[in-house]
Chain A
Amino acid sequence: MPDKSRVVLSLLLAALVAMSFTAPLANTQAAERKPLFVGAWPYQLPPRGHFNTFVTGALTWYIYHIMIQEPMALYFWANNSYYPWLATKWELTPDQQYFIVHLRKGVKWHNGDDFTAKDVACTFWALYLLNGPVWSMGFIDNVEIVDQYTVKFHIKHASPILYRYILREPIRPYSTYHKYCDLAKQLHDKGVPRTADEFKKAVAEFRNFRPKEYIGTGVLMWTGEITEAEVWLKKNPNHWKNALKFNWVKLINGETPQVTPHVLAKEVDYATHGFPPATEKQFIAEGIRIIRAPIYSGPCLYFNEKIWPLNDVRFRQAIAYAINRTENGYVSLLQSGKPLKYMSGMPDELAEIWLTKETLSKLNPYKYNPQKAAQLLEEIGLKKGSDGYWHYKNGSIVQFELSFPAEYADWSAAGENLAEQLNKFGIKIIPRAITFTQHPHEVWKGNFQLAIRHWGSGSNPHPYFHYRAVFIYWNKGSEGPGIAFPLVQETKCCGKVNITDLLLKSAEGFDEEKQKPYVNKLALIYNELLPGIQLWHRYGNNPALDGVRVTGWPPDSDPIYKNSIYGDNFVVYMLMTGYALRPTPQNMPAGQQPSQPSQPSKPSQPSTPSQPSKPTTPSKPSQPAGPNYALWGTVAVIIIIIIAAAWYLAKRGKKSE
């Protein structure tokens, strides 16, 4: 065969192989899985990811965990109420010694076993082994099975926080964890201390326990279909409520950079990642709706109170006045970085529930006021020089290092902007990004001057947790002095205060009305002393894709969006309860009609019925399955080019011979 023909033939063959490689484009098996909901959450593959959902590294997908292993109740932030789920009701005994939970009958585990009180008790005994907060914070000291469907918890320390720790805990099966929960109960009954070798050995064994099966009572079931890119979960057909309207849920693995292209390609229906402002703008341009729900937390500027003048309240107040927090929030996260109205140490949403009108009116909002800031700095003896910087009495420039976690894009942006603003104001700030795993330790050890760490709590609605974050979490601990903020102080608002006592009293007993005075006092103290400056409240910028696979997104005013994104995710709740969200017609299996949008089966407690959703921006329907003409055209052009090149080369070769 002549050389030229051989070349052309082999190239044609290669082109044919390439063409067969590209067709069919879509994964046919996956394309048949309808109705499908696609979310995103980072996870680790086995063996790194595992099924021991009590310990870190488990394949829980965090907000989606309760769709597999359900809690006894769901919590709605809008009206501070619990909605019965695996429990039908709960009560305190009149003497407030016991918290009794009555369980739902007829619930089955994914393997067909009955769900009973044994499973609930087992879950809490396993938590005992790990010293979970419900035990370590001293809320309970025993769990007893009353009958097959009743469990009672012995209360050691009464607090409304107890409700959340018990009712919102995902319940795991006794069949999987029986060895360890039985062991935990034995250790408890024998009074073995946690420091004993026997106890430590049990803990170590339990943490290394890797169950072979992954079952729950939830609306979703484990399929075993997992790769580093995605995981598939399927609907539990025997679920007691059977409200999930999607037969499949696919979760895309990865952090923001990995998930972004999927969102842009409209392959994700909902994601909770923190997207940078430029990406968010691109989403909006593509017609993807952005849901801005509160996270009840955000970045806070902390001061090392071992350093003068950072330990002078006037200096901290001056800094609060010198920062334009609206600008800081906007450059960091656009509309999702919202400045706070009250600077109460809590998110505004909770402040308005827990604080009296009188307290709210007393709170200094620290509106941007550089003149006021300058006045306060002069009061403490600093002077502004002709170079534009503030100087100490000895003439040296007032200069600090500001550290923040490097990998948190929004916090890094906040740190850079903060440095820029304060430099402009005359306080020299050197920004320093530290890797996110190391940064908290630097703060705890006191190896910082100014640092950005979190305020608030996205996982617990009680004010106790919000004040604990500032006064306790980042303060003195075993690792070091932390922010070194004194917890006994003289204040203008409230005289001499013991913050530790106030904090404990703010969560004591079951009567929230009795806790409110302490919470109000803490808010006033926080506002005056400013142990940290709440830079802004981080709202989510969650992309929600309407009209491709999912529709029915409620309008922004729906109270369901008051739920914390990471604490009680509203999309997860909507999927579980069957409220609002439903598949689009093109997301239904062939021959099936989508469910009617008329009456969403919404849980009765949380909010008034909302209007059927109105998509804010009409989005294009997904591409129907069919030939991809652009691809085939490109392939054809490539083939023509290859043939032409081969022909030319062969011709040139012959000539030269």
Chain B
Amino acid sequence: MSDTRAFLYKVYKNWFFRRSVRTLAIIYVAITLTFFIIRLMPGNPIEVFIANMMAATGMSYEDAKQLALAMFSINLDEPLWKQYLDYLYNLVQGNFGRSIAISPGTPVMQIIMEFLPWTLFSVSISLLVSFVLGVVFGIIAAYRRGGWFDRIMSAFAATVSAIPNYLIGILIIVFLGVQWKLWPIEYMRGAYSASVKPGFTLEFITDVFKHLLAPFITYVFSTFGGWMLSMKANTISTLGEDYVTVAKAKGLPESRITIYYVGKNAILPLFTSLAISLGFIFGGSVLIESIFVYRGVGSLLWASITSRDYTVMQGVFLIITISVVLANLFADMLYGLIDPRVKTLGGGE
């Protein structure tokens, strides 16, 4: 018995176990808040549908309402607690429900899966490139402090970080597409050309990358400055550490000092931000996707909000919540592995 208690106590005190339980609790709270906040929004899918039907077909309010009630498999007149319990019950079984407005009857997961791969593709590539560029440029700027590279790039990074991403997107369209005609507008719209048959062909792959370019540039431009400036600050701070001076005094090669002594330590704080950003990949970027009419979860989320499609909104928010929370968990674990002090301070094993 005492062995069992000791085991349970060990499990309870286990750092990973505690973090996992906390993660589940956060997800539950987020799900619950999302459920209720969505329903606090003015209007509901049935009202939106009735308005659309009246405007489009000239139906009377009563007829449109009858139609809506027949069509939607959701009864918004049910008590909220019952709707909530039904939602949780279905969720536990992996059932996200069916769309009630934007594609009535279609399973929410099917809709999300149509859009998610494109978001993962576009945002993850952009994020990784932006991160790598930011880190490399940050180290170079720190090493060449006060030089022309540092001055130009730091000013550039601070400027682009201050410009909202949608503005960068619009500027790219206006200047590169419309004014200077450097990049055809048709490649600034959508994920691929309608006239190119999707498939594992060079033509299609090239087309996909051409369509990716404008959102990619926008995303990289709007985020790399932050990475660069953080990395520069961290590197400068690390360069002043005693172990770096010692390493230099020992005559270690500069490249080794840069990578193993400075870079590795300076990049550590950026991991948390990267992990959170990786989590947000699943949410896409609503503004960038809508400016470039790019297929993705962000545009899906926007469409579901405007049509008050509760189930799709819940599904997208759930995916974002889970991915962000898991990414944080992953970051914590990774951080714990990289820097054991974190586990100790957190009251670990």
Q: Which residues of A contact B (CB under 8 A)?
A: 21, 25-27, 29-30, 33, 44-45, 47-48, 50, 56-57, 130-133, 136, 194-195, 200, 203-204, 207-208, 225-232, 250, 252-254, 257-258, 261-262, 264-265, 267, 435, 437-438, 440-441, 444, 457, 459-460, 465, 473, 477-479, 623, 628, 630-631, 634, 656-657
- Contact (A465, B58) CB under 8 Å given A227-B295, A261-B177, A441-B43: yes
Question: A47 contacts B111, CB within 8 Å?
Answer: yes
- Contact (A30, B173) CB under 8 Å given A227-B295, A228-B293: no
Docked pose: A549 CA to B122 CA in angstroms: 33
Q: Which of B66, B67, B102, B299 contacts A228 (CB 8 A)?
A: B299
Question: B58 contacts A437, CB within 8 Å?
Answer: no
Question: A230 contacts B194, CB within 8 Å?
Answer: yes
- Contact (A267, B193) CB under 8 Å given A47-B114, A57-B102, A441-B43: no
Q: Which of B47, B57, B195 contacts A133 (CB 8 A)?
A: B57
* Min distance, Cβ B71 to any Cβ of chain A, angstroms: 5
Q: Is B322 an interface residue (CB 8 A)?
A: no
- Residue of A132, A460, A465 most packed against chain B (CB within 10 A): A132
Residues of chain B with a CB closer than 8 A to A257's CB: 291
Q: Is B209 an interface residue (CB 8 A)?
A: yes
Q: Is B286 an interface residue (CB 8 A)?
A: no
Chain B residue at minimum C-beta to C-beta distance from A135: B63
- Contact (A21, B102) CB under 8 Å given A131-B59, A264-B178, A438-B43: no
Residues of chain B with a CB closer than 8 A to A45's CB: 114, 295
* Min distance, Cβ A264 to any Cβ of chain B, angstroms: 5
Question: A208 contacts B182, CB within 8 Å?
Answer: no
Q: Which residues from 292 to 320 on chain B have a C-beta closer than 8 Å to any C-beta of chain A? A: 293-295, 299, 303, 306-308
Question: B66 contacts A27, CB within 8 Å?
Answer: no
- Contact (A441, B194) CB under 8 Å given A204-B71, A229-B186, A261-B178: no
Residues of chain B with a CB closer than 8 A to A27's CB: 184, 186, 193, 195-196, 207
- Contact (A132, B182) CB under 8 Å given A27-B196, A207-B70, A261-B177: no
What string of 1s and 0s marks CB contacts (under 8 Å) between B177-219 and chain A? 1101111111011111111100000000011011001000000
Pick the interface stretch among B48-56, B277-285, B328-336. B48-56
Besides A48-B303, A227-B191, A437-B48, 13 more A-B contacts (Cβ < 8 Å) are A27-B195, A131-B63, A207-B71, A228-B293, A228-B294, A229-B186, A229-B193, A232-B195, A258-B291, A437-B43, A444-B61, A459-B58, A473-B54
Question: A21 contacts B182, CB within 8 Å?
Answer: no
Question: A47 contacts B110, CB within 8 Å?
Answer: yes
- Contact (A228, B303) CB under 8 Å given A56-B52, A131-B67, A478-B65: no
Residues of chain B with a CB closer than 8 A to A254's CB: 189, 293
Question: A29 contacts B196, CB within 8 Å?
Answer: yes
Chain A residue at minimum C-beta to C-beta distance from B54: A473
Question: B48 contacts A228, CB within 8 Å?
Answer: no
Q: Is B254 an interface residue (CB 8 A)?
A: yes
* Min distance, Cβ B327 to any Cβ of chain A, angstroms: 27
Docked pose: A208 CA to B103 CA in angstroms: 9
A-B contact pairs, 18 of them (CB 8 A): A27-B186, A47-B103, A56-B49, A133-B59, A136-B63, A204-B70, A204-B71, A207-B71, A226-B194, A232-B194, A250-B194, A261-B174, A437-B47, A437-B306, A438-B47, A441-B51, A473-B54, A628-B182
Q: Is B340 an interface residue (CB 8 A)?
A: no
Question: B56 contacts A230, CB within 8 Å?
Answer: no
Residues of chain A with a CB closer than 8 A to B245's CB: none
Question: B103 contacts A262, CB within 8 Å?
Answer: no
* Min distance, Cβ B287 to any Cβ of chain A, angstroms: 11
Q: Is B62 an interface residue (CB 8 A)?
A: yes
Residues of chain B with a CB closer than 8 A to A473's CB: 54
Residues of chain A with a CB closer than 8 A to B105's CB: 208
Q: Is B60 an interface residue (CB 8 A)?
A: yes
Q: Is B73 an interface residue (CB 8 A)?
A: yes
Docked pose: A204 CA to B67 CA in angstroms: 8
Question: A227 contacts B193, CB within 8 Å?
Answer: yes
Question: B66 contacts A131, CB within 8 Å?
Answer: yes
Residues of chain B with a CB closer than 8 A to A26's CB: 184
- Residue of A33, A232, A435, A440 most packed against chain B (CB within 10 A): A440
- Contact (A634, B182) CB under 8 Å given A56-B52, A228-B295: yes
Residues of chain B with a CB closer than 8 A to A130's CB: 67
Question: B59 contacts A265, CB within 8 Å?
Answer: no
Q: Which of A194, A227, A630 contacts B190 (CB 8 A)?
A: A227
Residues of chain B with a CB closer than 8 A to A261's CB: 173-174, 177-178, 185, 188
- Contact (A229, B65) CB under 8 Å given A45-B295, A441-B47: no
Q: Which residues from 79 to 111 on chain B have a C-beta closer than 8 Å to any C-beta of chain A? A: 102-106, 110-111
Docked pose: A229 CA to B210 CA in angstroms: 14
Question: A229 contacts B61, CB within 8 Å?
Answer: no
Q: Which of A200, A230, A444, A623 contacts B189 (CB 8 A)?
A: A230
Residues of chain B with a CB closer than 8 A to A265's CB: 177-178, 181, 185
Q: Is B42 an interface residue (CB 8 A)?
A: yes
Residues of chain B with a CB closer than 8 A to A21's CB: 206, 209-210, 213
Residues of chain A with a CB closer than 8 A to B54's CB: 473
Residues of chain A with a CB closer than 8 A to B186's CB: 27, 30, 229-230, 267
Chain A residue at minimum C-beta to C-beta distance from B101: A57
Docked pose: A628 CA to B180 CA in angstroms: 11
Residues of chain A with a CB closer than 8 A to B63's CB: 131, 136
Question: B195 contacts A33, CB within 8 Å?
Answer: yes
Question: B182 contacts A438, CB within 8 Å?
Answer: no
Chain A residue at minimum C-beta to C-beta distance from B174: A261
Chain A residue at minimum C-beta to C-beta distance from B60: A136
Residues of chain A with a CB closer than 8 A to B70's CB: 200, 203-204, 207
Residues of chain A with a CB closer than 8 A to B290's CB: 258
* Min distance, Cβ B199 to any Cβ of chain A, angstroms: 13
Docked pose: A25 CA to B128 CA in angstroms: 26
* Min distance, Cβ B146 to any Cβ of chain A, angstroms: 14
Residues of chain A with a CB closer than 8 A to B183's CB: 25, 631
Docked pose: A414 CA to B319 CA in angstroms: 41
* Min distance, Cβ B60 to any Cβ of chain A, angstroms: 7
* Min distance, Cβ B122 to any Cβ of chain A, angstroms: 12
Q: Which of A56, A459, A465, A479 contacts B61 (CB 8 A)?
A: A479
- Residue of B177, B185, B191 most packed against chain A (CB within 10 A): B185
Chain B residue at minimum C-beta to C-beta distance from A131: B63
Chain A residue at minimum C-beta to C-beta distance from B173: A261
